Structure 1
């Protein structure tokens, strides 16, 4: 992974993006719904999530790609490394925005993240430490 395509680079971009946290929440919701339903794709219900968040396709533009388009094709073979890092980091940021409280919740979140890393191309495990810092420790137990 090049430094330009690292979770830290994505987090830096999101910090200055007017909709960065909203995009992280959309990715978080889509990914955890997919994990709960054991779907290997994330686009199920995406239009409704984006609409509820009040986002447009233009709002989802980043230098790493368009988040909405990345979610639509995120688990496809054609997803490039920038797309994978973008979605992984947004998912990790979503976890940071709504961190699990206590060992049981941490276990459920960790289980969902491992499932997603195994069955989709969204591996937020690579971005957890960057997004959560010391708060990630409970997810690694």
Structure 2
């Protein structure tokens, strides 16, 4: 599907457009990400309101012959900056929340220095392109 197109070729449903993801407010984007992790087979729950590191979602996935993996997820809007400091704070929060992994979901491009910082931690950066791709792989519809 071409960027900017509102019609999918798989039956005419409205697709996940990058511009639409960037326009979502934080609460709506958090709902979308919560539903995404649920659709991908995670057991998801909302984090405590005052969770360390602005964590919004806790996602758990059972793994065959291994223990359950816990991922804490924070969501930022397109207008927010994603920096190496953001990555460090989330990695610290990951440890404080007792999680194995962390994900920072941002509906736009993420600077290379933030990706470099994430490579040294247990934080995964999910940029707009990856978010859009993962959403398209589910049966979820845009809000």
Please confirm whether the aligned pair reaches a TM-score higher than 0.5, indicating the same fold: no
Larger helix fraction of residues: 1
In our comparison, the structure showing a higher alpha carbon Rg is: 2
TM-score, structure 2 normalization? 0.31
Structure number with greater CO (CA < 8 Å, separation at least 6) is 1
TM-score by length of 1: 0.32
